[in-house]
Structure 1
């Protein structure tokens, strides 16, 4: 029973893109590891950019600087 947790920043992934991620990961596990689709769980967590840090800095600040 595979469980995959995908964490992305909450800044615009569409429902369609999330559906593609879920289908793609499920298919990958089925094709590579012969896992059963019916018992494969894929969870997508969206994290606010204030709560995601890279190199000691909030993603919000990094992205604001690039604008």
Structure 2
């Protein structure tokens, strides 16, 4: 019974989330021969202010990129 937790910054569409769930499930079926009925995929959306990389939040990185354009 695989459990996969995907964490992304907020903003994905319902269609994108559905594709992530289906694609992840398909990969586990293909590579590990897992039963799709007992494969669980959870998507956690994190606000950009709560996700950091390189010492700054994703929100700040986005603001800086927009200011530089």
TM-score above 0.5: yes
Partner of 1:43: 42
| TM-score normalised by L of structure 1 | 0.95
**RMSD value, Cα:** 0.6
Matched, 1:5 2:24: no
Residue 22 of structure 1: aligned partner: 21
Query: Deviation of residue 56 (structure 1)?
Result: 1.3
> What corresponds to 2:57 in structure 1?
58
Match of 2:32 in 1: 33
> TM-score, normalised on structure 2?
0.92
Q: Which runs of 5+ in 1 are unaligned?
A: none
Runs of 4+ in 1 over 3 A off after TM superposition: none
CA apart distance, 1:55: 1.1
Post-superposition offset of 1:25: 0.3
Number of aligned pairs?
Answer: 66
Please state whether the residue corresponding to 2:17 is helix, strand or coil: helix
